[in-house]
Chains A and B, each alone.
Chain A
Amino acid sequence: MRQLAWGAGIVAVLIAVNVLLRPLINPYVAQVIVLCGINVILAVSLNLVNGFTGQFSIGHAGFMALGAYGSAMFSLHVGMRWVAALEAMRVPAPLAEGAALLVALALGGLLAALAGYLVGLPSLRLRGDYLAIVTLGFGEIIRVLILNVDAVGAARGLPGIPAWVNFFWVGVGVAAVILLSRHLAASTHGRALFAIRDDEVAAEALGVDTTSYKVLAFVLGAFFAGVAGGLFAHFLSYLNPNSFTFIKSIEVIAMVVLGGMGSISGAVLAAIILTLLPEVLRPVKDYRMVIYSLMLIVLMITRPGGLLGSREISLAWLVRRLRPSRERA
C-alpha cells in the first residue's frame, strides 16, 4: 500500500514538473536536462552489470542502439497510426502519445534485453578483460548490423521519429531504473549479485547460481539501456548509427566509474556531471575534450573509488552531514 502511494506520488510530481517547467525553460536547456536523464538511466543500468555484479561490460551502446532503433521502427510503422486512431476517438494527445510511447519503449527494451540474453549467455564464461573486449565486440557488431540494414536508414540515419518525449517520460524512466536498482540491492537477488562481484568462486561454492545471476544482471541492464535508447530516439527525432559507437559505451563506463562502482546515487551524480561538463565547456570548445580526458585520468589516479565509492546518498547521511557536529571522527 505504501509503495503504491509512493509510486502515485512520484508520478504526480513528474506530471507537475513537466507541466510547470516546460514553458519556462528554453529548449536548449531542456535538451540538456533530457540528455542528463537519459544518461542517468544508462549509467544506473550499467551499474547493475558493472557495479553490482562486477562484470565488465563495454557494449552498452549496442543495447541502447537496439532499443533506439527498435522503438523507432515500431513508432514509425505502427505507433503513429495508433495515435491517429486514438485521437480520432477523442483521446487527448498526451495520453495517446504516451500510450504509444510506453509500448514503443517496452518493445525497444525487450529487444535490447533479448540481445543482452544472447550476448550474456556465451560470454559470461569469460572473465575480466576478455569479457570486456567481447562485449565491446558485440556492441560494434550491432552497430555494423544497423549500418547494413537499409530499412532503418543504414548509414544515412533514420529521420522523422515522432517527438513524444518530454520531462515526464524521462522522469518515469529515471525513477523506474533507480527504484528497481534499489529494490534489487536490498533483496536476496542483490546479495547474490554482490557475492558474485566480491568473489565469484566463493559464491559458486556457496551455491549461488552465478551464471543465471550474471545473465540476469546483463538482461536487466540491457533492458534499461534499450529504454534509454528509445527515449533518445523519440526525443532527437533522428537516429544515426554514429551515436552508438563504443565511444558512447566508454562514456557510460566513465559515469559508472566516476560515481563509484556499485553506488546508484554515485552513478546518478556522475551521469549528471558528465553530461553537463561538455555543455559547460562549450565556450572553451577546442579544449573541452582534452579537459574531459584529463579529468578522467586525474580522477582515476587520485580517487579510483569514484566520487562515492560504494556508498549511497541517503536522507540519514545528508542529515548527518548538514547538522553541526559535535565531534568528527
Chain B
Amino acid sequence: MPEFLQQLVNGITWGSVYALIALGYTMVYGILRLINFAHGDVYMLGAFFAFYAARITGAAVDPNPLKATGILLIAMIGCGIVGFLIERFAYKPVRRSSRLAALITAIGVSLLLENGGQLLFGADPKFFPQIIRATNIPLGMGVTISNQQIIILVVSIALMLGLRFIVMNTRAGKAMRAVSYSHTAASLMGISVDRIITFTFVLGSMLAAAAGVLVALQNPKIEPYMGIMPGLKAFVAAVLGGIGNIPGAVLGGMVMGIAEVMVVGYLSPTWRDAIAFVLLILILLVRPQGLLGQPPAEKV
C-alpha cells in the first residue's frame, strides 16, 4: 500500500506538470486549430532561461524563495516573448494556408528551437541548481513527499486557477472564447482577432515556461531535447481531456501523469512512452471528443 501511495504522489506531481503544458496546447488549438509542436520546446526554454537567471542572480549559492519566485517570473516573461515572436514570424504568415502547412511550420519551429538551443546552450545537459533547499517530508505510511513536489503542486494549481479566472472573468478571456468559436464572428463583433491570438500564445507560453522551471527544480537535468516527449504527452493529455477544453486539459494531465507512473512502477519502464499513445488511441476510438469535450457537429 505505501508503494502505491508513493507512486500516486509521484503521479500527481507529474500530472500537474503535464496539465500546465497541456493548457497551452489546448488554448492554442481551441483558437487556431493548430497543434503547436513547438510548445514542448517553449517548456524547455523556460527551464533554460531559469537556469541562466539562477546563475546570474547567484540563487544557487544563496537559495531563497524570493529569488526563486523572481527566477520563475523571468522565465515566464522570457518565454512569453518567445511565444510572441514565434506567433508573429512563423505562424501568422501561414494562417491563411492549409492546416498541413501550418503543422509543418510548427514542426520546423520545434526543430529550430531544439537545434538552435543546442547551438546556443551546448548539447551536453546542464544541471539546474537547487534554488530551493530540498527537504523530505514524511507523510506517514512510508510515503515521503519532497518540498519541491509540494511547490510544483501549489504553483501549478495557482496558475491553473489564475488562468481560469482570466478566461472566465475578464474581457480578454471572453474574447478568447469568442475567437475559438469563430474568427469571423468574433471580428464582426469588434474583437481584434490578431491580438487575441497573440495574447493566447503568450499566455500558453508562460504556462509552459512555468512547467519547465518546476520540473527543473525536481529533475535537475536540462538539455535542449527535453521538451519533445513531455510536449507530446501533454498534447495527448489535452486530447484526453477534450481539446479546447481547459478543465479537460487539467484532468487529462492528471490521468496521464498517474497512468505513466503506474505503468513504469508496476509494469516496465520501457512502456513509459507508449502508455501515452495507448491512452490516446483508446480515447480517440471510444470517445474522440475527450473526457470533458462535446461531440463535434460536422458541418457540410
Contacts and interface: CB of A to CB of B under 8 A. Distances in A.
A138 interface: yes
A137 B281 contact: yes
Contact of A133 (B35, B109, B285): B35
Interface stretch (A70-78, A82-90, A219-227, A250-258): A250-258
Contact of A301 (B93, B98, B110, B236): B93
B300 A134 contact: no
A95 B125 CA distance: 50
Nearest to A155: B270
Nearest to B279: A137
Interface stretch (A5-13, A18-26, A282-290, A316-324): A282-290
Contacts of A125: 288
Interface in B76-96: 90, 93-94
Q: Which of A56, A126, A300 has the most chain B CB atoms inside 10 A of its CB? A: A300
Interface residues of B, number: 45
Q: Which of A126, A138, A304 has the most chain B CB atoms inside 10 A of its CB? A: A304
B104 A293 contact: no
A300 B108 contact: yes
B284 A134 contact: yes
A300 B280 contact: no
Nearest to A54: B100
B43 interface: no
Interface stretch (A33-41, A103-111, A140-148): A140-148
Interface string A255-275: 001000100000000000000
B274 interface: yes
Contacts of A250: 107
Interface in A112-134: 122-123, 125-126, 128-130, 132-134
A301 to B, nearest CB: 4
A132 B274 CA distance: 16
A interface SS class: helix
Interface stretch (B13-21, B112-120, B178-186, B209-217): B112-120
A293 B100 contact: no
B112 A126 contact: no
A144 B118 CA distance: 26
B121 interface: no
Interface in B269-290: 270-271, 273-274, 276-278, 280-281, 284-285, 288
Interface in A41-61: 50, 56
Contacts of B101: 257, 300, 304
Given A133-B35, A297-B108, A301-B90, A140 B235 contact: no
Interface string B210-237: 0000000000000000000000100110
A17 interface: no
B109 A297 contact: yes
Nearest to B107: A250
B141 to A, nearest CB: 33
Nearest to A287: B119
B111 interface: yes
B111 A144 contact: no
Interface string A306-329: 000000000000000000000000
Contacts of B285: 122
A137 B90 contact: no
Given A56-B100, A130-B288, A141 B112 contact: no
B105 interface: yes
A296 B281 contact: no
Interface of B: 29, 33, 35, 90, 93-94, 97-105, 107-112, 114-116, 118-119, 232, 235-236, 239, 268, 270-271, 273-274, 276-278, 280-281, 284-285, 288, 298, 300
Interface of A: 50, 56, 122-123, 125-126, 128-130, 132-134, 136-138, 140-141, 144-145, 147-148, 155, 201, 246, 250, 253-254, 257, 261, 286-287, 289-290, 292-297, 300-301, 304
10 contacts: A56-B100, A126-B288, A137-B276, A144-B271, A201-B298, A289-B118, A290-B112, A296-B105, A297-B112, A300-B105
Given A130-B284, A201-B300, 19 more contacts: A129-B103, A130-B288, A132-B35, A138-B277, A140-B274, A144-B270, A145-B274, A257-B101, A289-B114, A293-B115, A296-B105, A297-B112, A300-B97, A300-B101, A300-B102, A300-B108, A301-B94, A304-B94, A304-B97
